[in-house]
Homo-oligomer: A and B are copies of this chain.
Amino acid sequence: MPDVCVLGLGLIGGSVLRAASAAGWTAWGATKSAVDVEAARADGFDVTADLDEALRRAAEVDALVVLAVPLPAVDDVLRRVTALAPKARLTDVVSVKEPVDDAVRRLAPTTRYVGGHPMAGASTSGWAAGSGSLFDGAAWVVAVDDDSDQAVLRDVVEFALATGAHVVPTSAAEHDSAVGRISHLPHILATVLAAVGADGGPLALSLAAGSFTDGTRVAGTRPELVRAMCEGNRSALLDAVDDALGRLGAARGSLASTGGLAKTIDAGHQARKAFDAQKTAERTDVTIDLGSAGAPAALRALGARGGRIVSLRGKTARAKTS
- Determine whether the beta carbon of A196 is less than 8 Å from that of B260: no
Q: Mark A209-250, 1 if CB is under 8 A from B, else 0.
A: 111101111111111001100110010011011111101110
* B211 contacts A214, C-beta separation under 8 Å: no
Count residues on chain A whose CB falls below 8 Å from chain B CBs.
Answer: 99
User: A190-B211, A245-B248 known; A278 and B181 CB under 8 Å?
Assistant: no
Residues of B within 8 A of A271 (CB): 191, 194-195, 197-198, 216, 219
In the complex, are the beta carbons of B202 and A215 less than 8 A apart? no
A273: CB under 8 A from chain B?
yes
Q: Is A293 an interface residue (CB 8 A)?
A: no
A277 to chain B, nearest CB (A): 9
A35 interfacial contact with B, CB 8 Å? no
Q: Which residues of B contact A304 (CB under 8 A)?
A: 201-203
User: Given contacts A194-B269, A198-B274, A237-B255, could you give 13 more A-B pairs where the C-beta distance is less than 8 Å?
Assistant: A181-B197, A182-B204, A182-B205, A182-B211, A183-B212, A192-B248, A195-B268, A203-B306, A205-B275, A216-B268, A226-B261, A244-B248, A248-B248
Binding site for B on A (CB under 8 A): 119-121, 138-139, 141, 168, 170, 174-175, 177-179, 181-183, 185-212, 214-223, 226-227, 230-231, 234, 237-238, 240-245, 247-249, 251-252, 255-256, 259-262, 264-276, 278, 303-308, 322
**Nearest 4 A-B pairs (CB), nearest first?**
A191-B268, A202-B306, A198-B271, A194-B271
